[in-house]
C-alpha cells in the first residue's frame, strides 16, 4: 500500500499526518471533495492504535455498527477511501513542516517530502511508548508483547497478562477460550476495568492474582516462565509462552510540537473549523483540543469532515462549504 515517492516531492492538495481511523476518514472526505491526498504514518500498516493494539476487540460506539472489530473498521475505512486513490507513505514519521510559498512542505525521517496546499494533523497523541517491566525488557519480541494483534497466535499457549485496566481484562476474556492457560496479574486488589468486565473475568477460566507482580522472567532464547511475587511474599513460577504487559502508554507529540502550532496540555488548539494557529493547517482527533471536546472515534470522524470541508473552501475559493449529498456521487466512485 505504501507509495514510494520519486526524487522530487509528492504534490497534493492535502497532506494528512496519521493513518488512524480519523485520518483515513479524512482521506475519504478529501477525495469526495475532489482533493488529492497523501497520508503519512509511522506505522507500516494503516489503522493507527486501533489496528496495532485492538484489532480483535469489538467496538460498540461506531455509528451504524452495532459491533465492529478494530480490524474490520480500518479495512472498511481504507476501502471507503480507495476510489479516490490517496497516496500512502507508511513506515515514515513526519518530522518537519515549513512554508513553501503559499503551500506547505512536509518532510519525513526517510527523506520523503510532500508539498501540499493544506495539512491535516490526525496523529492522535503522537508517539506512543508502552510502559514495561524491567524483567520483561530482555524478552521483548521473544515472548513479551504489549498488545494482541491476532488472538489465534496464542492458541494452545500459556499466557500471563499484567495489568488492571480494560485492555488487560478484555484480552484475558478473549484469550481464555483459545489459550491453554491464562493468568491475569494485577498489583492492586481493585481493577480499573469496567465493573461488568471484571465480573465476567471472575466467572471465566482465568486465574486472577491480585496484590501481585512479576519479578523475574526465564527462558533460553524465548520466554518460558515468569516468577510472580504474591501478596504473602511467596514466589510462584508460572509457565508463560507469552507475557502481555498491559500497563498503559506514555505519549509524546515529538516533532509536531516544534511546528509552531499553539498547544495546550500537549494537545493542539483548534477553533470551530478545526484550524490550528498555522494558516492552512488543521488538527483533528485526540491530538487536538477545544472546549467541551469528547475523546471518541465518532467525534473524530465529525472533526475530519469539518476540517476537510473548510480546507476545500480555502483551497478552492468560491467552493461551497456544504459538500452536497454523497448519494449523488457517480456510482463508479462508490466501493462495492
254 phi and psi angles, rounded to 5 deg = 60, -140
Q: Are 19 and 105 in contact (CB under 8 A)?
A: no
DSSP secondary structure code for residue 4 in this structure:
P
- Is 246 annotated to bind ligand? no
- Is 22 annotated to bind ligand? yes
Q: Which residues, 6 or more positions from 290, have their beta carbon under 8 angstroms from its beta carbon? A: 269, 270, 271, 272
Considering just the CA atoms, what is the radius of gyration of the chain in Å? 22
The contacts found for 328-332 with CB under 8 angstroms, 24 or more apart, are 329/32, 332/83
Query: d(Cα 161, Cα 214) in Å, to the nearest integer?
Result: 10
Pairing of strands 225-229, 235-239: antiparallel
- Is 286 annotated to bind ligand? yes
- Is 28 annotated to bind ligand? no
Q: Are 89 and 38 in contact (CB under 8 A)?
A: yes
> Got the DSSP string for 139-157?
GBTTTEES--S-GGGGTT-
- Is 94 annotated to bind ligand? yes
Query: d(Cα 274, Cα 291) in Å, to the nearest integer?
Result: 12
Q: What is residue 62's three-state secondary structure?
A: strand
Query: d(Cα 134, Cα 224) in Å, to the nearest integer?
Result: 17
- Is 41 annotated to bind ligand? yes
Binding-site residues for FAD sit at 22, 41, 49, 54, 94, 286, 327
Binding-site residues sit at 22, 41, 49, 54, 94, 286, 327
Amino acid at each position: 500500500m505504501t507509495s514510494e515517492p520519486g526524487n522530487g516531492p509528492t504534490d497534493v492538495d492535502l497532506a494528512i499526518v496519521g493513518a488512524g481511523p480519523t485520518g483515513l476518514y479524512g482521506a475519504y472526505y478529501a477525495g469526495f471533495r475532489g482533493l488529492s491526498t497523501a497520508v503519512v504514518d509511522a506505522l507500516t500498516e494503516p489503522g493507527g492504535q486501533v489496528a496495532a493494539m485492538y484489532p480483535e476487540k469489538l467496538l460498540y460506539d461506531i455509528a451504524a455498527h452495532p459491533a465492529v472489530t478494530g480490524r474490520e473498521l480500518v479495512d472498511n475505512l481504507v476501502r471507503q477511501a480507495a476510489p479516490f486513490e490517496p497516496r500512502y507513505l507508511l513506515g515514515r514519521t513526519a518530522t518537519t513542516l515549513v512554508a513553501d510559498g503559499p503551500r506547505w512542505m512536509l518532510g519525513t525521517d526517510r527523506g520523503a517530502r510532500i508539498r501540499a496546499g493544506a495539512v491535516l494533523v490526525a496523529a492522535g497523541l503522537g508517539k506512543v511508548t508502552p510502559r514495561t517491566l524491567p524483567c520483561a525488557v530482555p524478552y521483548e519480541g521473544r515472548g513479551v508483547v504489549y498488545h494482541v494483534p491476532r488472538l489465534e497466535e496464542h492458541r494452545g499457549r500459556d499466557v500471563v497478562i499484567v495489568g488492571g485496566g480494560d485492555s488487560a481484562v478484555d484480552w484475558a476474556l478473549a484469550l481464555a477460550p483459545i489459550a491453554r492457560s491464562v493468568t491475569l496479574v494485577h498489583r492492586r486488589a481493585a481493577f480499573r476495568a469496567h465493573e461488568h468486565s471484571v465480573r465476567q473475568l471472575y466467572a471465566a477460566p482465568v486465574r486472577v492474582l491480585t496484590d501481585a507482580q512479576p519479578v523475574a522472567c526465564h527462558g533460553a532464547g524465548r520466554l518460558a516462565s515468569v516468577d510472580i511475587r504474591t501478596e504473602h511474599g511467596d514466589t510462584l513460577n508460572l509457565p508463560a509462552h507469552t507475557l502481555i504487559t498491559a500497563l498503559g502508554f506514555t505519549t509524546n507529540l515529538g516533532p509536531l510540537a516544534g511546528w509552531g502550532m499553539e498547544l495546550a496540555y500537549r494537545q493542539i488548539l483548534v477553533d470551530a473549523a478545526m484550524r490550528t494557529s498555522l494558516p492552512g493547517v488543521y488538527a483533528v482527533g485526540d491530538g487536538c483540543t477545544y472546549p467541551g471536546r469528547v475523546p471518541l472515534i465518532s467525534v473524530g470522524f465529525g472533526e475530519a469532515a469539518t476540517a476537510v470541508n473548510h480546507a476545500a473552501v480555502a483551497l478552492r475559493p468560491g467552493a461551497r462549504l456544504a459538500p452536497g449529498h454523497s448519494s449523488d456521487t457517480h456510482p463508479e466512485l462508490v466501493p462495492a
